[in-house]
Amino acid sequence: MKSVAIVGAGIAGLAAAQALIANQSGIVPVVFEKSRGVGGRAATRRIDGFCFDHGAQYVKAPTPELHALIAATGDAVTIDRPVWTFTSTNQIAPGDPAFADEQKWTWPGGITRLAKYLATGSEVRLETTVARLHRERDAYRLFADDGRDLGSFAAVLLTAPAPQTATILAASHLADVQPLIEALQTVQYRRSISITLALPRRPLVPWYALVNVDRQHPISWLACEHDKPNRTPPDHGLLIAQMSDHWATTHWDALQKGTFSPADAPKPIVEALAAIRALIGDIDQPLWINVQRWRYALPDTAAPLSDHDRLILAGDMLCGQGRVHLAIESGWRAATRIREVVS
């Protein structure tokens, strides 16, 4: 039996771990995650009887393998209403039917259901930040940010966003790794701030979500989270606005994550509410407003990255897009590479 370390319990890392276990190749994955839960941006929050996905909004399954994974979770459902488009001048249109009508998968208990399913059977060490690696003979020893020795592993899969992965490698002082660090530093990310509104009534609109097509609007995505099952108390509404990179960067320091009453809402939230109302008309006063910040929300570029001496890479830094199904496939490819490296 050989142990491998997976740094990051996002979807790519968890998909790799599950694939290694399913293959029964004698490789034991140990997943290290700095936060308190699994899933990364496939994140679900619960407040006062409301349940909402404030990162990734849904999952696509364009291949038989992905469709089989979604089905294996046991309780996945589709979001039936379409995604429409809007412009910087608030012009709303049905958009491309192929995109608007493609299957969008979710779960009654939130998208984190997928992450928990992928994590089944794996050893996941939460609230553990990997700070550096030390090369040993045919292995790497990992150390936490508090100096703890986390053990020795036959290979390491790095799945954190490119800037965080580069920081780990830079602190490790490994031979011949500088070109990889420089390649990681070329990956550019867009920031996002998710603003969730709990409403006493549901707005009457013909779509599930709107996506901005010209990248000139303060809002990049506006969704009726109440279209998903078991997300609100009866007849209540739940809207999620994911703000553009420019808006998020402008207001990043002024808008901390948390839950606010309308009376206590910071000025940027008031501005965001005005942008939402300009799109869908007047809405009731929110019961509460939740803010979540995503520093590395969506990669704009993919670096030409390759593995290095039992160091394997996976995640959206390889894809150039922030899509759950692409992260899954990246994790699957990484699992195959790990088996080749340590066999």
Convert the pLDDT of each residue in 61-80 to its tens digit.
999 999 999 999 999 999 99
Closest CA to 294 of 133, 53, 14: 53
CA angle 303, 304, 305 (to 5 degrees): 90
- Residue 183 has what pLDDT? 93
Measure the CA–CA gap between 134 and 311, rounded to whole angstroms. Answer: 12
Closest CA to 133 of 181, 185, 188: 181
CB atoms within 10 A of CB 186: 14
Q: Which residue has the tokens 């509460």?
A: 288
- Residue 306 has what pLDDT? 77
Strand pairing report for 189-199 and 155-158: unpaired
- Residue 95 has what pLDDT? 80
CA angle 99, 101, 107 (to 5 degrees): 105
140, amino acid identity: Y
- Residue 323 has what pLDDT? 94
- Residue 302 has what pLDDT? 85
Q: Residue 336: phi, psi to the nearest 5?
A: -60, -45
Q: Is the pLDDT of residue 57 over 70?
A: yes
Mean pLDDT of 244-250: 98
Q: At what angle do helices 11-23 and 112-119 cross, to 10 degrees?
A: 30
Report how far apart, in Å, the C-alpha atoms of 61 and of each of 55, 65, 128 are. 18, 8, 31
Per-residue pLDDT of 279-329, as tens digits, reads: 999 899 999 999 999 999 999 988 777 778 899 999 999 988 899 999 999
For residues 26-50, one letter each, b for 16 or more C-beta atoms within 10 angstroms of the residue's C-beta and e for the rest, the string is: ebbbbbbbbeebbbbbbbbbeeeeb
Q: Is the pLDDT of residue 26 over 70?
A: yes
Lowest mean pLDDT of 51-55, 140-144, 174-178, name the range: 174-178
Domain ranges of the chain: 2-41+115-187+302-342, 44-112+188-298
**Helix ranges restricted to H, 24-86:** 64-72
Per-residue pLDDT of 211-237, as tens digits, reads: 999 999 999 999 999 999 999 999 999
**Please, what CATH class does the domain formed by 2-41+115-187+302-342 belong to?**
alpha beta
For residues 270-288, one letter each, b for 16 or more C-beta atoms within 10 angstroms of the residue's C-beta and e for the rest, the string is: ebbbebbeebbeebeebbb
> Do residues 269 and 255 touch, judged by C-beta distance below 8 A?
yes
> Do residues 336 and 20 touch, judged by C-beta distance below 8 A?
no
Closest CA to 183 of 32, 307, 23, 7: 307
Rounded to the nearest integer, the mean pLDDT of the chain is 95
**pTM of the shown model:** 0.95
Question: Using CB atoms within 10 A of its CB, is residue 115 exposed (0-12), middle (13-18) or buried (19+)?
Answer: buried
Name the CATH topology of 44-112+188-298: Polyamine Oxidase; Chain A, domain 2 (3.90.660)
Reported confidence tier of residue 100, pLDDT bands at 50, 70, 90: low
234 CB contacts (<8 Å, ≥6 apart)? none
Q: Residue 223: phi, psi to the nearest 5?
A: -130, 145
Strand pairing report for 149-153 and 237-243: unpaired
- Residue 98 has what pLDDT? 75
Closest CA to 164 of 122, 195, 130: 130
